[in-house]
Amino acid sequence: MSLLVQKFGGTSVANPDRIRAVAARVLRTQQEGHEVVVVVSAMGDTTDDLIALARQVAEQPSDRELDLLLSTGETVSCTLMAMAFRAMGQEAVALTGAQAGIITDNSHRRARIVAVDPQRVTQELEKGRTVIVAGFQGITDGSDITTLGRGGSDTTAVALAAGLHADRCEIYTDVDGVFTADPRVEPRARKLDEISYEEMLELAKLGARVMHPRAVELGEAYHLPIVVRSSFNDNLGTLITGGKQMEYRRKVRGIAHDPDVAKITVVGIKDRPGVASKIFVPLADAGVNVDVIVQGTAVDGVAHLSFTVSKDDLGKAVSLIKNLLGEIGAQTVLSSPGLAKVSIVGTGIQYTPGYAARMFQVLGDHNINIEGITTSDIRITCLIDQSRVQEAVQALHEAFILDQPVT
């Protein structure tokens, strides 16, 4: 008998009917001989509604109280799910993150899991009960309730699966799995049957919203197989895993894109040690997430530094840097909204000559200007104009023959 952790997102548990449908689905899996622990997100828009409610009381609600408030969303959905199981004749028990042993640090709103102590989960499983755990939440060693921030329920599921030594973690969502590109942008995109943790990480970071990168990282750290699949059909989904076969397959595995980023360029920086931290530490303190960073080589001791931020953070970032110009000895700051990132991802493409060149050539053939380039071991990313993103994704998808199954 294998042990599975199955996570269902907010769309999958948005109302009582869907909750019952999920319970029925899990029951079928159990009847096939699997033990199942279910992790749920809050129903539909509950989290947003609770934040709106808090803002009616206080403009800037305190993080500790907001966490306790938001945690009720997943507590509600996990209790309803347990009730649905019992109504179908299956003994079930709902556990909060605290009861399931999800121990976190005390960084409210974005807590990190420091330990999983799933003793209660194990005891309940031994009694033959289906265990339903509230995702997204944990408890500190001081008994305060925390939430895990973005991707929180995925992270709960993977951490719990690791703590329970489960055979795999299944992330149920509203898409069929991981695709070679976003199917809304490239209709010929194919679902991948398998992908490596690293590739998935890059795809996730680059805007493939199937699964949050931190949950992928956690899966990789514990060698835990993760399956991403649809909660609305029985298709097999995509298996995220490690393994030797990775080296042998076709190198470009998918095209990722993020259609809405902004570029900031700090012009004429005096090239001396410590300048970068003087820019990026204040940005981090202000909660601005910086992505692609490109620093040109200094000429005559003066360099330009470019980086991307989400469109929402552009105004805050620019005004922050304007205040820093004197201190960092820079001339001015420029910003361009309306950009997009497009990336090719695949294990080993950096070690295989020709992939970057081919990517640039494809974009050039379509007369798409490249406004910045960054690379990682398994990824090449170009910044391009937002209006050209669909054309770029489709052209790269075709050029790297992603519309045909791997043989």
Burial of 79 (0-12, 13-18, 19+ CB in 10 A): middle
- Segment lying near its own copies (by CB under 8 A), choices 68-76, 217-225, 321-329, 395-403: 68-76
Which DSSP string do the residues of 266-332 spell out, in sequence order?
EEEEE--TTHHHHHHHHHHHTTPPEEEEEEPPPBTTEEEEEEEEEGGGHHHHHHHHHHHHHHHT--E
Interface with its own copies, residue 12, by CB under 8 A:
no
Cβ–Cβ under 8 Å, residues 329 and 269: yes
70 versus 363: smaller Cβ distance to its own copies? 70
Minimum CB distance to its own copies smaller for 60 or for 323 = 60
Q: Is 118 in the site for its own copies (CB under 8 A)?
A: no
**CA angle, residues 369, 370, 374, in degrees to nearest 5:** 170
Separation CA 18–CA 12 (nearest Å) = 6
Considering the complex, state which of residue 66 and residue 224 has its C-beta at the smaller distance from its own copies. 66
In the complex, what is the shortest distance from the CB of residue 196 to its own copies, in angstroms, rounded to a whole number? 39
Is the Cβ of residue 90 or residue 265 nearer to its own copies in the bound state? 90
Of 177, 134, 106, residue with least CA distance to 47: 134
Q: How far is the CB of 32 from its own copies (least distance, A)?
A: 24
Integer Cα distance of 100 and 136 in angstroms? 12
Judged by CB under 8 A, the residue of 11, 29, 30, 72 near its own copies is 72
Q: Which stretch binds its own copies (CB under 8 A): 93-101, 311-319, 329-337, 362-370?
A: 93-101
Residue 294 per-residue DSSP state: E
Binding flag, residue 82, its own copies (CB under 8 A) = yes
CA 33 to chain centre: 31
Query: Which 140-179 positions form the footprint of its own copies (CB under 8 A)?
Result: 143-145
Site map 280..319 versus its own copies, x via CB under 8 A: ----------------------------------------
45 binding its own copies? (CB under 8 A): no
CA 374 to chain centre: 20
Q: Which is nearer to its own copies, 57 or 299 (CB)?
A: 57
Q: How far is the CB of 39 from its own copies (least distance, A)?
A: 16
Contact flag: residue 54 with its own copies (CB under 8 A): yes
Tokens for 207, please give them.
């805007």
Sheet hosting strand 379-385, strand order edge to edge? 290-295, 302-310, 254-270, 332-345, 379-385, 372-376
**Contact with its own copies (CB under 8 A) among 1, 33, 57, 234:** 57
Separation between Cα atoms, residue 153 and residue 157, nearest integer Å? 6
The contact set with its own copies (CB under 8 A) reads 16, 19-20, 50, 53-54, 56-62, 64-66, 68-69, 71-72, 75-76, 78-80, 82-84, 86-87, 93-94, 96, 98-99, 120, 143-145
